[in-house]
Structures are given as structure tokens and as C-alpha cells.
Chains A and B, each alone.
Chain A
Amino acid sequence: MTTSTRRTKGGPVGTPAGSAVPRTLAEDLRGRGDDELAQLLRARPDLTTPVPVDLTQLATRATTRASVARVLERLDHFTLQVVDAAVVLPDGFGYPALRDLVGDVPQLPGAVEVLRTRALLWGPLESLRVVRTVRDLAGASPAGLGPALPAALGATGPARLQELLADLGLPPTPDAVSAIGAIGALFADRKAVAALLGEAPPAAAEVLDKLVWGPPTGSVRGADRPVRAADANSPVEWLLARALLVPAGPQAVVLPRELALTLRGGRVHRDLAPTPPEITATPRDPQAVDAAAAGAAFTAVRRVEELLELWSTGGPAVLRAGGLGVRDLKRAAAALDVTEAEAALWLELCYAAGLVAGDGEADERWLPTPAYDVWRARPVAERWATLAGVWLETTRVPGLVGTRDDKDKPVNALGPGVDRTAAPEVRHALLGRLGELAEGSAAPAADLLADLAWHRPVRTARLRSELVDRTLVEAELLGVTGRGALAKAGRALLTGELNAAADLLEPLLPTPLDHVLLQADLTAVAPGPLVVALAQELHLAADIESTGGATVYRFGEASIRRALDSGRTAADLHRLFATHSRTPVPQPLTYLVDDVARRHGRLRVGAASAYLRCDDEAVLGELLADRRAHGLRLRRLAPTVLAADGAPDQVLSALRSLGYAPMAESATGDVVITRPDALRTPPRSLPPRVTGEPPAPSTSLIDAAVTAIRAGDRAAVSRPRGAEDGEAPAELPRTSAAETLLALQAAFAERRPVWIGYVTREGRATQRIIVPLGLEGGYVTAQEHTAGELHTYPLHRITGVAPVDVADPAPS
């Protein structure tokens, strides 16, 4: 556990290539063939962005926390079990030791190879090493095992250790290390442990049973009180007296790793799962599957279209935090006659496919995008393929809409907080698994969930069951699956061939029709999907009453008026009906159109800002003809009425300048007598008083200021010589980024102070001595040596690292 390689600053690390046993991961990688390296990069694509300059850098990058976590997430359950076992072993273990801990299953060599390929495990089979970061990520208790004895008893005094030896019936030893070694040897001996526990009170054995498979810690009062075997009153004290349980603090005890492994029978895992769980498939008729899926696919396209048509005339408001309000979602669901969950699916799909977006106005609203018009003009099968393709790859999870987030706020459709990076992977994995079954096989959600849990236990841990359930429901709604089995088109979709998927779907879709059945109850029934042009015309002239395989349109006064408003004439509508109706046009419909058309546009509305009234038509005629009055843009509304574009007072003065004597009229028709009014502002408050003095500061403000000044003063005084700000940048230690990281890692491992050159946020170059306490995500958390304060330094601002003892950079 303590075999971190001491790395010297700068230069190639370790021995030259070709030596028998690699001492570092970089050396190990150097010893691998090109195709092996290629495999590594393929399995961990994050290592290639950017491409590392050399193998040292590759090794460094491959052991960063983020990268290792990423690759661990993508391992299956069994391989992770092997990782657990490997982490339990001290570095430099042999393959047989690993096999003993895991169990001799035929899948083991494969798993070890996977780990080696991914550079999580390195070294020859006789002396394998686990990358240090993997150990860190495994945490204090891998596979539910407590700390090993050296760590668990590290803080125990020598006297107490001798007491423990005595109570275990072991001979005294000269020092602490050998004492711990003796206890460890006893715990590793199965027979001796059995004999020891044979004497234990039954309750003590029960306590061990509880802890043996983890978690290994239990809480108990007064755990750190030294107890002798003779004084033990309780089962826990009996165990504590013999180091079978070790104090882990005043209130906690822990089961030492060596003992736990012996009690586990020398294995790390109770349930080893070298193979994924079985899936019980239900066979379905593939033709029925495809038909059902095609039906759903058709409906899906239709729903999306209905929704966006609905929003084409003015969508709902975009919430200030982004997203769609709960009430608007409800309204959309009611309009589509679907559940809110389903409405959320269509909305999110539209959003992910770029068919709907905020319009970017001050009062932002959701509106269809121009991409929607392009999408709508394409055949149904292609439209479906676009949607289904987007669904498969999107990180948005419509199932989250309506739930509450970590802050207990509702998650809104189209809003933030709906993205889950694991979603596309779950969809691929799930449908891929369905696809591996025989054609037309459906599988229960529980089986698929168990399968996914085995293949991607870490990656999909959060939300897994919801994601699986929702994915299956959504796939069915979208027609990727039909009756629970993967449809042909869905299969093509999985391979990314959208065009092929559309081609497979097309023959299963109903043929678009160019006719409807008109009825005397003022409905039109389209007994199937309509060609786009006809659908659009009908959509204009009628309201949709019910959808599904067919569409029922209802004509009404309002819908006919809508058509007339958008420029259709009564004759257009009659022609539309005559051309596209399979049945004679019912007389009430013809009558309705004519009746609405008769009244349509009888009243006219326009804007005018002033009018001119004159009983003498000739005067008005004269004005209209007068070129000087053209600026007023007069137009005749009736023989005795003109409308003008200017405000009444402008018109009045213009007319006066033309030599007329007009009078103003009020809204009630009275003559308005005008005389110049005295001008006044609206009511105003007093102006603020301006004084020369600033407001007196409060006592608390003064106190805070004093504290801050004192703190700054102290920091400046305690600053070491030579570490003053403003030092010449040329004298800062300079190392490459990879070297910096290496040196910091080394310093971190040994808790050793180092000099760093650091550029402050203001751009000043400084030097500091720090002791790194954490190294993660591009930041070093460190104690600043001089001030003794904790700081976090972004790695990219550290210009270089130098060891404190090697070169004192302060030229005083």
C-alpha cells in the first residue's frame, strides 16, 4: 500500500525502456506494443483530447482522478468486483493471489486483461500493480472491508499493543511493527481464528457477523477506552480487548481487514457475478410488432405536428428560469388529449430536435423554429426517423419533468435540470439488449434493469430504474418498439442508419389520402392520413375533433371565418370541398360557408388619428384635390367624412394655414373651444438635499474595517524574505505542465512542502511555499507555508514547482 514511486523532477522518468520489470506505469506503457496503446486510447477516448506529447504525459493523464473515474464508470459488475479484490491486495501482488481472493472463474483472465488494457492494472502477472488513483477512488473500505491492521492500529501505543498480544495469547514482541505483524498473522490463520471465536460469547459472534460483509464500522460508546480481556463486560468489549474490533474514534469501532477476509473465507465477495443475469424473453409475432410500432410511429409524428401547429399561432411564455410553466404543460396535454408525461415527451423531443425554441423577444414565448417547416414538409417516415434518432441520442430525460429536483423545486419541461448524461447510454444499452434477443422478443422491464445494472453498475446507478421504465414506455410511444419488442425500423435506428430506418418504416405506414368524407352534421372525416396540402387547408377551415387512425374535422362559423380571414374566398372553400370530397357536399355545409361569407368583412376597421366632417361634399372634394393638403394623407370614408393621418391639432393648424376655418370636435361631438393652456408638470416630490459630508459610517462597519486592516498587516509581516510580491518573473521556477503535476503529486503523496511560482488573479507573478493537501479536478488544495492558511490554486496558474530543499529561489 505504500509503494508510490519516488519520481525525480524533470527528465524521463524511471529506467530506460527494455528493462525487465517496469517500475512505473509510464515504463509499463513504454513496454507495450502500438496496438496495445491503440486499444488503451480506444477504451479511454478522453486521453486523446488533447493528444499527450509523450508516454510520461499519457501515464500522468491516465492516472488523473477524473479520467480514472470515467473509465471505472464504464466497467461491468464483474470487472469492478475484480478491481475491488485487486485494491485489497498490496501492490506487487501475483495473479494467483488475485485468483484466490476473487474465486477461480473462467471469466477472471478476461477481466484482468480488460483492466490491463485500460491501464488500471500494470506490471507482469507475477507482480501486478493497481494505479494509485484507483485505490484512492475505492475509498477506505473497498468491498465493505475495513482498514488493514497497520493502519487500524497505527496510532495505538506500544503498551496497549503488548496488552492486546497478551490477551490474544501471543508472546510479547520488541516493537510495535512486529506486534502488529504478529496479530495480522494470527488473524490470517483460519484455524486460529476459529479457535479464538470458539471461546467468544455468542453475542460477540453476532456482532462480527453484522460487520463482516460491510459496512465494517459500528458505533459504540467509549470505543477508545483500553479494555483488558479480564475486564470485558459486553460482547463488544470482549472483541475490543482482543483487537478483533479496533477503535476508530471515541464512538466507532471497525473490523480489521485481515480478520474480515478470514471470516469471509478468503474471498472478497459474497456473491460473485461473472455473467450477466438471464433475460426471460416473450416471443411475439414480428409482423404484429412492426405493425404496432408503425402505428405508434405514425401517431408520434402526428402528435408533434399537432402540438407545434397549436403553438404556431402563439406559443406559451418561456419561464424566467427557462422552461415551460406547469399550467402550459397541462394545457398542451389537454389539447393533445394525452397524459402530461406523454406531452412532456413530445415537447422535449421537439426541443431536442430544434423544432421549437424561445423566440428571443422581451416577453419570450415558445414558437416553432424554421426547422419545423423543413421537417413538416418531409415524408412521415423521415420525420419519424429524425425524431427517433434525436430521442436515442438526447441527454434530455422527459421523465424528469414534473418531478422535484435536489432543491425541491419542480422540474419544468423544456427547462434546465432535465439533462442526464447517462440517458443516451441507457437507451442504447437497453434497446441493444432487446436487439440481441431473437427477433420479436419482448422482455420484462425488471430483467432488462438487472441486465443493465450488471453491465453498467456505476454509470447508471442514479435514476437507473426510472430511466429503464421511461425508456421502455417512450420507445413504445415512439414506435421504436412495438408490443415490447424491437421493431425492424428501431433496429436500423440503433445502428445509426436513419435513412434505412425510414425506408423500413415507410411501407408499414398508411398511405396518405387526398379525400375526405363530408357529412351533414358539419364534420369531415379523413379516413387516414391526408396529404400535407389538404391537411393544411382543412386545418384552416375546420377544427380537429378527434385524431387517431382517422381525423375528424368539424366546421363551424368560427373555423370558416378563420379561413376567410386568411384569404380564402367562399368559392375557394366550395372548390376545396367539391374536389376532395368522396361524397356529395352536404347542403348545410354549403349554406354555412355562404352564410359566413355573406357577413364576412361587412364591417371594416382601420386606423385614423383624426377625421374631417363637412356637410358640404364639395369642400371635402376640394381638400382632397389640394396638393398642399397631401401631407395630411386624407382619404374619403363617406361623402361627408374624410380620415387623416395626423393628430387633430396638427390637422387643425394645417387646415388653418390653408385658409380654412376648422373647429375641433370632442368625442361626444361637442365643439371644443381652444385657448392656450398654462403648462404644468405632473405632481413631483421635493428634490433631495445635497450636503458636503458623506453619511456617518456605522460602528459595525468601522469594526469590520479595523479587523481587515489588522489581518492584512499580520500577513505582510510574517511573509518570508524573498517571497515578496513583484519579484522578477525570470526567477520563478518553470516546469512543464506534466512535470508540474508529477511534482505536485509526489509532494502530495509525501506531504512535503514545495516552492511554486504562482500567477495571482490580478496577473502578478508570486512565489509561495505550499504543502499540497489535495489534488483534484485541476486544483491543488494546499496549506500556505508562511501564513498557515488553506488555499486552492488552479493548476494552470502555477508556473512551476521546485523542491524547497533543492534550490532556494530567493536571491536575497
Chain B
Amino acid sequence: MAEPTSGPLIVQSDKTLLLEIDHEAAADCRRAIAPFAELERAPEHVHTYRLTPLGLWNARAAGHDAEQVVDVLLRYSRYPVPHALLVDVAETMGRYGRLTLAKHPVHGLVLTTTDRAVLEEVLRSKKMAPLVGARVDADSVAVHPSERGQIKQVLLKLGWPAEDLAGYVDGEAHPIDLAEQGWTLRPYQKEAVEGFWHGGSGVVVLPCGAGKTLVGAAAMATAKATTLILVTNTVSARQWKAELIKRTSLTEDEIGEYSGTRKEIRPVTIATYQVVTTRRKGVYPHLELFDSRDWGLIVYDEVHLLPAPIFRFTADLQARRRLGLTATLVREDGREGDVFSLIGPKRYDAPWKEIENQGYIAPADCVEVRVTLTDAERLAYATAEPEERYRFCATTATKTRVTRELVEMHAGEQTLVIGQYIDQLDELGETLDAPVIKGETRNTERERLFEAFRQGEISVLVVSKVANFSIDLPEAAVAIQVSGSFGSRQEEAQRLGRVLRPKADGRAARFYSVVARDTIDQEFAAHRQRFLAEQGYAYRIVDADDLGKA
């Protein structure tokens, strides 16, 4: 029998691509398929990519054509690629760019086609009727400039994504420069900014801890215009502000905070999702923010968490440059299509492992610690109400004991204990004699504690889910999670990000999950385990009794 051809790639019938990474051509192949295939899983030996219409359109937006994609698949594939799949790829990619949005001297904005039948097809759709004006000629139709966002959303849903070539307004100029003193942008950060700027608008995908804030700052320094930054919460807003003051020529007076407590509008304004999406009597009172200045750039932090109303506001902001920053394009609500059509295609993507290998983020050692419940606890668990079961097994007293052991094992290292339930956290704080940060903790107190933790004045901090997003704890070497929100993968990514900052001594970060054996907790842990393993992290399971030996 013949030897299989030597390619590192195997094309599956469900449109996934398996890349054998120990293969000598794997690195080349990865680079070749990255523009059009989404990395789905990256465990240690075989990475799984998926071909999706959005991914293929992303590739088209980045200037790749179907021929290149087909060529890559044929070149690296180990087995014959099903003809139907190649035809499908060509067909899908051919759909992007048949329609383009462009400026028109008379009509303002027009939708033009290279294929008249496609234009006729989309114009027949009921959803298109309110968005378009008069027919300019056989191949183009006027579009109300205010509907630039909606029309892109609708066209994507119809399967004919439009290429937006209508350009951007420059916005109000404002001098911003990077202050590269004692540090420089990393190569991948530079590439990300260039990719974004060249594309006009779009999303940059970088793992937690890879310096997304800097990418935002560098984009602002390239735009040199007034900027609106949308972030998840107030703590995150403060950190953005601190980072911008430190890394750019901006001064404290030039940066405003628009949050629940303060309503400042300055050349660079940082607003929280929450305040923007606040609704009173059916109206959004803070929408004025978007019109209050002639913004030249809008930055969306954590795009995968963007709330639905912001998509709607964003639809009206299509003439402004938009930069999305995220660690993952996977949204748990499935609105990836809206990110694509309203913020823009993916402009840069680097997998965690690659950046980790370059030494910019710390490697992590993930350990699941299985604790056995006592007989009394098991009986109580068995009789608990279904809605109480998770809470019960996640907060069992045995966990507190094991957590204490873990903290003692890592005495002297900066350790975070993360949990979901306030009672449990209070109890842990008491047991470990450590301060607790939770929802009711005031912002000033939070910042004081974070600073103290950074300075090494305190080495153990117990945090609730308020710390899930965008806090920056440079020297956390150990994270211990005792409970979480039902195995959410997103939460896992964020928590892991807490310990991925490179350590001074280059040690691997430790990421513990304490899990109650034979309970629903263990089921949720299985989701997290799968996620971490798929991200390529070493993962072990140990029994609490064997901890000393681990």
C-alpha cells in the first residue's frame, strides 16, 4: 500500500482541519491556514481549525482569494480533499465583495455590485427595503448614510456580506504619541496595530496578558485623534487610564472617565458598558456621549462581552474607525456575525501558545484538585434541592481545608483565591487571614488592596467574580479557584489570564481548581478542563490526599 502523502493537515468532512503539530511542515501550514480558518482547539499534538463562512470572509477581507485557500488545502493535505468542500470554499468566498459600500459624490453612500443578479436578490428582501433609497443605475443603489451599519448586518444575514469601502472620517485631531521609555512595543503588537490600521476597522485577537491595552494605545498614537474607549467596568477604566498615562504622551487632564460616578468628556474618554447601556424610561440618557465629540477612533475592550445595545449604537458609528480587542472571538450568545459586520473583520490573531513560546506570557500549570466529601456532606448533597446542589458542593467545608493546604504549600508566592459565593469567600478570608474583595468593596479600597498586592505587602488575596475582568495583577503566581459560574469557558479564560503575566524568575504559573468529587461540581470542572487542555495547557488531576506529593 502507498505511503500517505506527507502533509501535516487532514481535512475532515465536518469542515474541521486537523493540524499535526509535531510534523516538520506544521509551522508553515499553520501560518498558511491561519488567515481563513478559526483555531478551535490547540491541545498538545493535533490542533483543530474550523472553516466557517465568517472565517472565509475574514480571509477575503484580508485580501486572500479562494484560489489561495484551495491551494493551501491541497498543498498541505495528507489525503485527497473532498471536491465538494473545495467547491464550497470557492462558492462561499465568492460571496464576499460582490457587493461593496462606497462613497458617491451625489448620493452620498451607494451599494454597488459586480453581479447584477445578487443585487436583485438582496433588494427583494423585505429587510432591505427601509435601508436603501433610489436605484442609481442597474448595478448600484443609494443607501441612507445612517443605515451603513444596519445594511451590513442585513447583508451578512442574507449571506452576501458587503465590503465597506466608504472610508472613515478623520475626527477631531489630537496629538497622541507613545512614550517608549524603557520599553518598546513587542513585534506582534506592532503587527496587530499595522493590520488594524491597514484594514480600517476590525478586531485584534490576543490572549490575556499579551498587552492588549498597548495595542489600543498604539492605535491611538497612529490615529492621533480623539478617542472613545469602551470598557467592561470601572476598575478596568481606571487601569486603562493609568496605563495610558504611563505609556503615552497623554496627561491626566486629557483623559476623562465616564462611569456611574463621574461623567467627564475629554479628548480621550473611557466609558463603561454599564453606563452606556443604562436605560431610563425607555431611553438611553448617555447616548450623547457618542455625539459629544467628533471621535476619530473608538476602542472596544473585551469585544466578546459587548452588550447587545452597544451593537445598535455602533451601527450608527460606521464612519468612525473602530478597534475591537479580545482574547476570543467566541461569544457565548453566538453574535459573532454582528462583531464581523459592525466592528469589522478579524485583523490580527495570535494563539496563546505562540506568544507564550516567545516568552511574553508565562506558561501555566493547571491542576485540578479533587476533594472527597465527608460522608455527612455526601448525604447532605444528595438531599439538597436541585438549584442548591451546585452551591452546596462548591462551597463545602472540605474545600476550605484543602485551599488552606494549597496556600500553605505556596507560602511566599503571590496567591489569588477566586470564588463565586460571598459566604465562602468570607470564610476563606477568615481562615487564610487574607483580605476579601467583593462587589460591595469600594473602588478606593479595591485599588488600595490591589496596589498592596502588587507591592508584595500582602501575598494572599481572596476575590469574587468582580475581579474576573480587566484587573491587572502583575505578580500573581498562583491562582486557586474554588467555585465559579457553572463552568463558563469565558470565565476560565479570564481567570487564567490573572496568572499569565510573565514572572520575574520565569517560573510557570500555577492554576488550581478545587473540585468536589462525584458531584455536579466535577461535571462543570470537566468543561473547564476541556477548555484549558484545548488551549494547550498542561493539565493534571490530583487527589487532595496526594497534594503533598504533587
Residues on the B chain within 8 Å of A338, using CB:
13
Q: A517-B46, A521-B533, A588-B541 are in contact. Are A295 and B16 (CB under 8 A)?
A: no
B79 near A295 (CB under 8 angstroms)? yes
**A482-523 CB contacts (< 8 Å) to partner B:** 482-483, 506-511, 517-523
Residue in B2, B77, B540 whose beta carbon sits within 8 Å of that of A588 in the complex = B540
Is A546 engaged at the interface, CB distance under 8 Å to the other chain?
yes
A296 near B18 (CB under 8 angstroms)? no
Residues on the B chain within 8 Å of A511, using CB:
1-4
**B287-338 CB contacts (< 8 Å) to partner A:** none
Residues on the A chain within 8 Å of B16, using CB:
546, 548, 552
B518 near A599 (CB under 8 angstroms)? yes
Is B388 engaged at the interface, CB distance under 8 Å to the other chain?
no
Separation of A520 and B47 alpha carbons in the complex (Å): 12
B12 near A525 (CB under 8 angstroms)? no
A546 near B14 (CB under 8 angstroms)? yes
Separation of A523 and B534 alpha carbons in the complex (Å): 10
Residues on the B chain within 8 Å of A550, using CB:
10, 12, 18
Residue in A294, A337, A476, A599 whose beta carbon sits within 8 Å of that of B83 in the complex = A476
A549 near B11 (CB under 8 angstroms)? yes
Is A291 engaged at the interface, CB distance under 8 Å to the other chain?
yes
Most chain A beta carbons < 10 A, residue from B18, B20, B77: B18
Q: Which residue on chain A has the smallest CB distance to residue B82?
A: A295
Interface of A is mostly: mixed
Separation of A519 and B21 alpha carbons in the complex (Å): 12
Is A133 engaged at the interface, CB distance under 8 Å to the other chain?
no
B-side interface size class: 35 or more
A521 near B11 (CB under 8 angstroms)? no
Is B529 engaged at the interface, CB distance under 8 Å to the other chain?
yes
Is A528 engaged at the interface, CB distance under 8 Å to the other chain?
yes
Residue in A337, A476, A507, A591 whose beta carbon sits within 8 Å of that of B2 in the complex = A507
Is A292 engaged at the interface, CB distance under 8 Å to the other chain?
yes
A547 near B80 (CB under 8 angstroms)? no
Is A587 engaged at the interface, CB distance under 8 Å to the other chain?
yes
Q: Which residue on chain B has the smallest CB distance to residue A551?
A: B12
A519 near B80 (CB under 8 angstroms)? no
Is B538 engaged at the interface, CB distance under 8 Å to the other chain?
yes
Separation of A550 and B9 alpha carbons in the complex (Å): 10
A525 near B46 (CB under 8 angstroms)? yes
B13 near A588 (CB under 8 angstroms)? no
Q: Which residue on chain A has the smallest CB distance to residue B84?
A: A476
Nearest-neighbour CB distance to chain B for A158, whole angstroms, equals 67
Q: A510-B4, A521-B533, A588-B539 are in contact. Are A291 and B80 (CB under 8 A)?
A: yes
Is A527 engaged at the interface, CB distance under 8 Å to the other chain?
yes
Is A8 engaged at the interface, CB distance under 8 Å to the other chain?
no
**A667-696 CB contacts (< 8 Å) to partner B:** none
A548 near B13 (CB under 8 angstroms)? yes
Nearest-neighbour CB distance to chain B for A342, whole angstroms, equals 10
Q: Which residue on chain B has the smallest CB distance to residue A521?
A: B533
Q: Which of B37-45, B64-72, B207-215, B377-385 contacts A (4 or more CB under 8 A)?
A: B37-45
**B34-60 CB contacts (< 8 Å) to partner A:** 41, 43-46, 48
A517 near B45 (CB under 8 angstroms)? yes
**B148-173 CB contacts (< 8 Å) to partner A:** none
Residue in A298, A507, A521 whose beta carbon sits within 8 Å of that of B43 in the complex = A521
Is B530 engaged at the interface, CB distance under 8 Å to the other chain?
yes
Q: A507-B2, A588-B533 are in contact. Are A546 and B80 (CB under 8 A)?
A: no
Separation of A521 and B48 alpha carbons in the complex (Å): 12
**B480-494 CB contacts (< 8 Å) to partner A:** none
Nearest-neighbour CB distance to chain B for A202, whole angstroms, equals 42
Residues on the A chain within 8 Å of B538, using CB:
520
Is A299 engaged at the interface, CB distance under 8 Å to the other chain?
yes
Residues on the B chain within 8 Å of A39, using CB:
none
Residues on the A chain within 8 Å of B20, using CB:
517, 525, 527
B12 near A295 (CB under 8 angstroms)? no
Residues on the A chain within 8 Å of B82, using CB:
295-296, 299, 548
Separation of A296 and B82 alpha carbons in the complex (Å): 7
Residue in A296, A299, A509 whose beta carbon sits within 8 Å of that of B1 in the complex = A509
B541 near A521 (CB under 8 angstroms)? no
Residues on the A chain within 8 Å of B541, using CB:
587-588, 591
Separation of A550 and B368 alpha carbons in the complex (Å): 30
Residue in B41, B534, B540 whose beta carbon sits within 8 Å of that of A587 in the complex = B540
Is A583 engaged at the interface, CB distance under 8 Å to the other chain?
yes
Is B78 engaged at the interface, CB distance under 8 Å to the other chain?
yes
Residues on the A chain within 8 Å of B518, using CB:
599
B44 near A337 (CB under 8 angstroms)? no
Nearest-neighbour CB distance to chain B for A93, whole angstroms, equals 55
B2 near A522 (CB under 8 angstroms)? no
Nearest-neighbour CB distance to chain A for B51, whole angstroms, equals 12
**A468-486 CB contacts (< 8 Å) to partner B:** 476, 482-483
B43 near A337 (CB under 8 angstroms)? no
Task: Mark each residue of chain B from 522 to 550: 1 if its CB lies under 8 Å from any CB of chain A, else 0.
Answer: 00000001100110001111000000000
Residues on the B chain within 8 Å of A518, using CB:
45
**A291-348 CB contacts (< 8 Å) to partner B:** 291-292, 294-296, 298-299, 337-338
A519 near B79 (CB under 8 angstroms)? no
Q: Which residue on chain A has the smallest CB distance to residue B529?
A: A588
Most chain A beta carbons < 10 A, residue from B11, B14, B46, B48: B46
A549 near B1 (CB under 8 angstroms)? no
Separation of A507 and B3 alpha carbons in the complex (Å): 9
Nearest-neighbour CB distance to chain B for A346, whole angstroms, equals 13
B13 near A299 (CB under 8 angstroms)? yes
Q: A520-B44, A588-B539 are in contact. Are A549 and B10 (CB under 8 A)?
A: yes
Residues on the B chain within 8 Å of A510, using CB:
1-2, 4, 78-79
Q: Which residue on chain B has the smallest CB distance to residue A484?
A: B83
Q: List 10 A-B contacts (CB under 8 A).
A: A292-B83, A337-B14, A510-B78, A517-B20, A517-B45, A527-B78, A550-B18, A552-B16, A552-B48, A591-B541
The 10 A-B residue pairs with the shortest CB-CB distance, nearest first, are A548-B12, A295-B80, A521-B533, A549-B79, A519-B43, A520-B533, A550-B10, A549-B10, A548-B13, A591-B541
A511-B1, A520-B538 given; name 8 further pairs at CB < 8 Å. Answer: A292-B83, A507-B1, A521-B533, A527-B10, A546-B14, A546-B16, A547-B13, A588-B539
